[in-house]
Amino acid sequence: MSLPALPRRTILGAAAVAAPAVLGLSARADAATSTSTASSAAAAAPGAALLPGGGDLGANVIVFDPSMSSGSIQSRLDQIFQQQETAQFGTGRYQLLFKPGTYSGLNAQLGFYTSISGLGLSPDNTTINGDITVDAGWFNGNATQNFWRSAENLALVPVNGTNRWAVAQAAPFRRMHVRGNLNLAPNGYGWASGGYIADSRIDGQVQPYSQQQWYTRDSVIGSWLNGVWNMVFSGVQGAPPQGFPNPVYTTLGTTPVSREKPFLYLNGTEYRIFLPEKRTNASGVTWGSGTPRGTSLSLSQFYVAKPGVTAATLNEALTQGLHLLLTPGIYHLNQPIQVNRAGTVVLGLGYATLVPDNGVTALKVADVDGVRLAGFLIDAGTVNSTTLLEVGPAGTTTDHSANPTTVQDVFVRIGGAGAGKATTSMVINNRHTIVDHTWLWRADHGSGIGWDTNRADYGLVVNGADVLATGLFVEHFNKYDVQWNGERGRTIFFQNEKAYDAPNQAAIQNGSIKGYAAYKVGDNVTVHEGWGLGSYCYYNVNPAIVQHNGFAAPNRSGVKFHDLLVVSLGGQGQYERVINETGSPTSGTSTIPSTVVSYP
């Protein structure tokens, strides 16, 4: 999303920001959750020199302590923001960590590729009397490009009672406690196009104002103010009742399956990674009654990767039995990262970015249980990759329901920072995989863009059965944005824009059909269900282009959709139908959605 006219950079020196000595290797993993890294490493590579687990987190992870003065913390925050505020396609990557305790008088403004997190086991262990602010002054009040930033695991007491979080895609707000209101629009209520909240408590009111769409999962809110096009809730206590299309609320009482994102925390002086347990039919936060349920791993069980490390070294660490912690920065890969061990964690900090070179796939997961991929960006390379992320081998039918793979806050970008190409961004073959918040984006602005310059035919392809997507954002692909071939798939919230830059009708022609649907369920699928799905068109290169429908699926009783919409943004192109041959066409320039409440 980057519509300027529609409703809808020197950092502190490394020595000054290095993590404290407590980040060193620790052997104090508790017996219940530790693994014998040395034993598995020796078995994997007898006689080889072992790669170390643990270690410091590098210069771009900045750790704050309650003993520091508010002035020094604020100065550090302001320096980072000054560098990152407008650096949409820059190379800076930063993780801000706050040790447990209370901080006062802070306003942490977040720019691009900046993540802020508390280091407690509960958000309430780390309280900021102040604000974590995302606004759009850099873009004249337009928040539709406020991508790639995040806030996690903190409690906020906003100075004026309301915290501003005016974001667009790839900007999760997870595991947060706002002791006040949360405003999701920029100052002046300019355009906004987000967003995602999970496992959070907002004591006051959530105020979307101009936000066009939003998904909130497994949270607690005081109240919700309004909606524009598509507001979706699952497992949210205090959510408004079902009302789509007027008001525009899709509300599910629970989330069928969820497992929160892994996170870094401090246990005394030891850094650990907490692994929340899987929940079924969940509602509300995981941390409301104290210690969350799950297990944890010592940092000594992770290979702490720094930019410049080779893919071969990352794979050797995995072979040794280590997990991966990707510290902030850009990682070039000349071979795939291969995750073959059940229960492996690959966790990124500060939007760590993987760039596959020479057409390789960035990361592949084997047919194993319980892999957790979280918190990183994949940026397509200049040589076309067939795929960028593959979860499971083709054709697998293994049951992973007891311990599924989760893909959380894993984002894909093709073009924008330079020409990039990939035929398919993400392929899910493993059964029961949970894709919990992703944004797959073929860039519509920046450098290296054009119908064939950053060619990318498909966003998400799901071949595995029983896959669940919660918070699915997929935009601008040359053909199908989502192609879902697996049985019993489910999607809760989908946001899409068709490719802006199609040169003419012939360029998007799909046989006898005008255009490729944003979300296509395979012709042989017998059971599928979706809630709260929207597709928008903005064919600004050729506004005469007609898209037949936003959604296409087999017309059978087991394939069900609830609360669908298509929108022509300012009349730049039109839809003839919403799903298959159902739903009124869009028309004119009024940007009014055409909706279908239930299909079939």
| pLDDT at position 11 | 25
Beta strands 385-391 and 422-428, pairing class = parallel
146, 114 in Cβ contact below 8 A?
A: no
131, 97 in Cβ contact below 8 A?
A: no
Degrees (nearest 5) of the Cα angle 401, 411, 149?
A: 120
Residue 169, token pair as written in the block: 């895609």
Q: Along the 600 residues of the chain, how does pLDDT read in single tens digits?
A: 655 434 332 222 222 223 332 222 232 233 333 333 333 443 444 556 899 999 999 999 999 999 999 999 999 999 999 999 999 999 999 999 999 999 999 999 999 999 999 999 999 999 999 999 999 999 999 999 999 999 999 999 999 999 999 999 999 999 999 999 999 999 999 999 989 999 999 999 999 999 999 999 999 999 999 999 999 999 999 999 999 999 999 999 999 999 999 999 999 999 999 999 999 999 999 998 877 899 999 999 999 999 999 999 999 999 999 999 999 999 999 999 999 999 999 999 999 999 999 999 999 999 999 999 999 999 999 999 999 999 999 999 999 999 999 999 999 999 999 999 999 999 999 999 999 999 999 999 999 999 999 999 999 999 999 999 999 999 999 999 999 999 999 999 999 999 999 999 999 999 999 999 999 999 999 999 999 999 999 999 999 999 999 999 999 999 999 999 999 999 999 999 999 999 999 999 989 999 999 999
88 secondary structure, DSSP code: T
Phi-psi region for residue 177, left (φ > 0), alpha (ψ -120 to 50) or beta? beta
| pLDDT at position 49 | 83
- Per-residue CA distances from 132 to 162, 210, 222, 270, 432 (Å): 10, 20, 19, 26, 35
155, 136 in Cβ contact below 8 A?
A: no
Active site residue 497: yes
Residue 280 CB neighbour total at 10 angstroms: 11
DSSP for 391-455, written as a single string: ES-TT-----TTS--EEEEEEEEESBBS---EEEEEEE-STT-EEEEEEEEE-SSSBS-STTTT-
| pLDDT at position 445 | 98
Burial state string for 414-431 with b = 16 or more CB within 10 A and e = fewer than 16 = bbbbbbbbbbbbbbbbbb
Residue 402, token pair as written in the block: 């007891």
Beta strands 213-224 and 196-198, pairing class = parallel
pTM above 0.85, yes or no: yes
Amino acid at 320: Q
- What is the Cα–Cα distance from 206 to 226, expressed in whole angstroms? 9
| pLDDT at position 2 | 53
CA 417 to chain centre: 19
CA 524 to chain centre: 30
Per DSSP (E only), the strands in 357-401 are: 363-365, 372-379, 385-391
Gap between the terminal Cα atoms of the chain: 30
Catalytic residue, from 260, 270, 316, 497: name it: 497
